[in-house]
Amino acid sequence: MKIIIEKTLVKCLCSYEFIFVFVFVTWLRLNSVRWERCFIFNIGKAPIDSSKVPIVWILGGPGSGKGTQCEKIIAKYGFTHLSTGDLLRAEVKSGSERAKCLTAIMERGELVPNDVVLDLLKEAMLAKAGEAKGFLIDGYPREKSQGIAFEKAIAPVTVIIYFEASSETLTKRLLGRAVSSGRADDNEETIKLRLKTFLDNNDQVLAQYPSKLQRINAEDSVDAIFNQVEKILDPLVAQ
Ligand code: AP5
């Protein structure tokens, strides 16, 4: 009986079908391909159609006013706002095993691993895909590879709004907010590290999208900045 079982096992392991499945599964793992994307009904289908629902990336240094302007954009345009910082802080609050590691990274002002951020973002976007008039993706991408991964996994970006301000202005605003924000990363030491992370990556991120990039001087007042934002978004929603 034992010999029969052994023979059958060896036969199975040596069969073409087994070798094919083994090679295929290894390839998927090496390329980090997700199982659900292998099913035939998903092939070639972008999860969100950005030609119908605009996808706007909101970029800028820490404290450049991304969140402040997003609030105004939501009020006027009704777009769905997804801030990667907020998504990560919600994950941290959940107390999961992964959360402990995220807290440490965020307190060092570094970037959380790309796959964690993209998974959270994609999940949140898909949950709103049916109802969203447009997506405001706040604080993503923060490095070159994040932008590439997003467009591959979700959809091409429609327009990128970049809020430009000096390091002095950013530091001053964050220290002002620190008094009441209760955020673990709003302290002098972490602010320096956040700024460094931003400056190390920002030029490379922006350089990838010359035709979609819209720069706004974020040293102005909140309302003056929003006037600039409207000039970019009004034509988009009128289409
Ligand atoms: P995140 O939460 O995104 O923080 P941030 O990028 O540092 O930006 P903030 O939210 O602090 O500032 P903001 O630009 O929204 O400015 P706000 O409107 O609040 O990210 C936190 C961390 O999460 C990161 O460090 C990283 O570890 C991780 N993370 C996030 N995204 C990630 C990603 N994609 N990949 C990997 N890791 C990621 O304004 C700031 C203050 O200024 C407020 O008090 C406001 O009232 C004031 N203010 C705003 N506008 C003006 C104005 N025009 N004039 C005067 N004051 C103003």
**Closest ligand 1 atom number to CA of residue 106:** 27
What is the per-residue pLDDT for 25? 61
Q: What is the pTM of this model?
A: 0.84
CA-closest residue to ligand 1 atom 21: 85
A 10 A CB-CB count for 22 gives 11
Distance CA 171, CA 192 (A): 8
Q: Which one of 111, 122, 157 would you pick to mutate in the ligand 1 pocket, going by the greatest count of ligand atoms within 8 A of its CB?
A: 111
What is the per-residue pLDDT for 9? 66
Name the phi and psi angles at 192, rounded to 5: -60, -45
* Ligand 1 surroundings by CB, under 6 angstroms: 60, 62-68, 83-85, 88, 105-106, 109-112, 117, 139-140, 142, 146, 173, 176-177, 185, 194, 221-222, 225
- The stretches in the chain having pLDDT less than 70 are 1-5, 8-10, 12-14, 18, 20-21, 23-46
Distance CA 79, CA 53 (A): 9
What is the per-residue pLDDT for 1? 61
Those residues whose C-beta lies under 8 Å from the C-beta of residue 200, and which sit 6 or more positions away, are none
Q: Which one of 58, 59, 66 would you pick to mutate in the ligand 1 pocket, going by the greatest count of ligand atoms within 8 A of its CB?
A: 66
Residue in the block written with tokens 């040293």: 219
What is the per-residue pLDDT for 46? 63
**Closest ligand 1 atom number to CA of residue 140:** 34
What is the per-residue pLDDT for 95? 85
What is the per-residue pLDDT for 34? 46
What is the per-residue pLDDT for 73? 98
Using an 8 Å Cβ cutoff, are 65 and 161 in contact? no
Distance CA 103, CA 141 (A): 19
